[in-house]
Every structure is written in structure tokens, then in C-alpha cells.
């Protein structure tokens, strides 16, 4: 029996949150003991291997050139961001660096969504506010 789309979305979102949290925490700890760029290189290489494997398994075709260009740009920004995060976690207090990076990471797509799609519904706005408060409290 398949789950309803909304339940599946919540479950997959929670799994993604746990995976991101664990990898950021583990990467930050590892970056305290070894070179930050080495940690980033290994983590990004593993990510590419998993992404390519899932793409092959799913039978996806080669993306269009424009999509590839956007992917490369996103990869550059993503690798730069994770390098900055791991560096911050390596030299700073995790209890300060992690929530600040989470707030910035959450704010960028929200602002982009407001600019491109307008103000979200009230329920969504309340959810965003609660999530931001939760991140600060954590």
C-alpha cells in the first residue's frame, strides 16, 4: 500500500532533515580534526556518486544544456556554502554557527519565493515563522 502524497512528503522531508543534520554535524566534527577542503572533497564526491547511481537506476536521460549549466552553478554555490559551514563549525562554536547557517539557508528560498511567487498563504507564513523560531531555539 502506498502512502498518501502528503504523508510521503512529510516522511521524506523528515528523513532529509535527519540526513542533512547528521551529515552537517559529522562533517563539522571531522573538519575540526582534519583539513576542511578534504572533508568537502570526500563528501561532495560521495554525493555525486549517489546522485549518478540514482539517476541511472531511475532511468533518467541526459539533462538539457541549460539544466546542466544551472546544475553546475548550483554545485559551485553548494560546495562553497558547505566549505564555509564546515570551516565555521571547525573554528567556531557549533551552537552558534549551526543556527546562523540554518537561518540563512532558510531565508534565501523564502525571500526568493516571495519575490517570484508573492506572499505565501497565512498558514505557510505561520509555518515559516515557527520553523525560524525553532531553529533559533535549537
Q: Tell me the pLDDT of the chain (138 aa) as tens digits.
A: 466 678 888 898 889 888 888 888 888 889 999 999 999 999 889 989 998 999 999 998 888 999 999 999 999 998 999 999 899 988 888 778 888 887 888 888 889 999 999 988 898 888 888 887 887 776
The number of domains in the chain is 2
Say if residue 49 is in the same domain as residue 107: no
Say if residue 83 is in the same domain as residue 116: no
CA dihedral 61, 64, 68, 70 (to 10 degrees): -130
Q: If we measure between CA atoms, which residue out of 86, 78, 96 comes closest to residue 32?
A: 86
List, in order, residues 6 or more apart from 88 with CB less than 8 Å away: 97, 101
Say if residue 42 is in the same domain as residue 98: no
Domain contains 27: yes
Residue 138 exposed, middle or buried by CB count within 10 Å (0-12, 13-18, 19+): exposed
Q: Give the structural domain span for 39.
A: 22-92
Say if residue 26 is in the same domain as residue 72: yes
Domain contains 108: yes
Domain contains 9: no
The helix (H) or strand (E) run that includes residue 1 is none
Say if residue 61 is in the same domain as residue 120: no
Say if residue 101 is in the same domain as residue 85: no
Q: How far is Cα 42 from Cα 32, in angstroms, rounded to an integer?
A: 15
Amino acid at each position: 500500500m502506498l502512502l498518501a502524497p502528503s504523508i510521503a512528503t512529510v516522511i521524506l522531508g523528515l528523513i532529509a532533515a535527519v540526513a542533512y543534520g547528521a551529515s552537517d554535524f559529522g562533517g563539522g566534527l571531522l573538519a575540526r580534526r582534519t583539513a576542511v577542503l578534504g572533508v568537502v572533497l570526500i563528501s561532495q564526491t560521495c554525493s555525486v556518486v549517489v546522485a549518478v547511481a540514482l539517476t541511472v537506476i531511475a532511468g533518467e536521460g541526459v539533462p538539457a544544456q541549460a539544466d546542466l549549466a544551472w546544475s553546475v552553478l548550483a554545485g559551485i554555490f553548494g560546495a562553497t556554502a558547505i566549505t564555509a559551514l564546515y570551516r565555521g563549525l571547525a573554528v567556531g562554536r557549533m551552537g552558534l554557527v549551526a543556527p546562523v547557517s540554518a537561518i540563512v539557508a532558510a531565508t534565501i528560498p523564502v525571500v526568493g519565493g516571495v519575490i517570484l511567487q508573492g506572499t505565501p498563504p497565512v498558514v505557510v507564513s505561520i509555518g515559516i515563522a515557527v520553523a525560524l523560531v525553532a531553529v533559533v531555539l535549537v
